[in-house]
Structure 1
Amino acid sequence: MVRKLKGNRPAQAAAGNQMDILKQAQAMQQQMLQVQEELKGKDLTVSVGGGAVTVKVNGQKEVLEVKLSDEILKEAASDKEMLEDLILSGINEAMRQAEELAESEMNKVTGGINIPGLF
């Protein structure tokens, strides 16, 4: 004997679950947009070469400032490559720290779930 179920309860439950998931995803998206906006206001300053080069970036990995000490400018006249290396080193370190900050802030929203292409 085959019993026929009344109504369409499994389909209704699935539709409700999908709506809940969609609402959660939209809320998470809003939170991520807010975090991205807040990262613009968070600055990181990195110094390399004993303070010879200082690089300032924000949490969205935008370089805001590069400062060179007077001493390194005097030395740069005879060693241009050293100055270029120090600047590059400072920018790379600042970007690494900005990436860590962004990941840390996003993990607060995503609960550590890796979302490809987020940053």
Structure 2
Amino acid sequence: MFPGGTPDLQAVLQQAQQMQEQMMAAQEELAHAEVKGTSGGGLVTATVNGTGELQSLEIKPEAVDPDDVETLADLVVAAVRDANANAQQLAQAKLGPMTQALGGLGGGLGGGGGIPGLPGA
């Protein structure tokens, strides 16, 4: 299973603790990040944090047509989806390498190595 015999449990635990600290720091950074998404050529801009929570919504006056509220609603939904997709890309960039590394610690138990709250757990 491990080349050269059994692993040093203390070293494995220390590595896991370091990775957990890095993961927590990255999650904190994501919670404070601002990620924007737009639709309608910039008529609607949604801002979410790195975890996808909607923070603000900007609608340019020319996007507002009282006779066509459905289009405005579609633009809002599209902008929020775009912002969330951008937030997911940011999260993958920040957390992806760490969750893959944790998968190696867990002996192939999935992305999170069986650690609650991580993908694959």
Q: TM-score, normalised by structure 1?
A: 0.75
Partner of 1:47: 38
State how many pairs are aligned. Answer: 104
Runs of 4+ residues over 4 Å off in structure 1? 110-113
Q: How far is the alpha carbon of 1:108 from its aligned partner? A: 4.3
Q: How far is the alpha carbon of 1:110 from its aligned partner? A: 4.3
- Across the aligned residues of Structure 1 and Structure 2, the Cα RMSD in angstroms comes to 2.1
Letter in 1 for 2:14: K
Gapped runs of 5+ residues in structure 2? 104-110
Secondary structure of residue in 1 paired with 2:8: helix
> 1:32-88 CA distances to partner (integer Å, 9 max, x unpaired)?
000000112221122210221110111121111001110111x1x111111111111
1:115 to 108, 112, 117: 112
Secondary structure of residue in 2 paired with 1:55: strand
The answer to which structure has the higher helix fraction is 1
Task: Tell me if the contact between 2:36 and 2:86 (Cα under 8 Å) persists in the aligned partners.
Answer: no
Gapped runs of 5+ residues in structure 1? 1-12
Q: TM-score, normalised by structure 2?
A: 0.74
1:83 to 72, 86, 91: 72
Aligned equivalents of 1:57, 1:97: Cα separation in 2:
9
Q: How far is the alpha carbon of 1:22 from its aligned partner? A: 1.5
Secondary structure of residue in 2 paired with 1:67: strand
Larger Rg: 1
Secondary structure of residue in 2 paired with 1:65: strand
Question: Are positions 1:59 and 2:56 aligned together?
Answer: no
Secondary structure of residue in 1 paired with 2:112: coil
Secondary structure of residue in 2 paired with 1:78: coil
Residue identity (%): 33
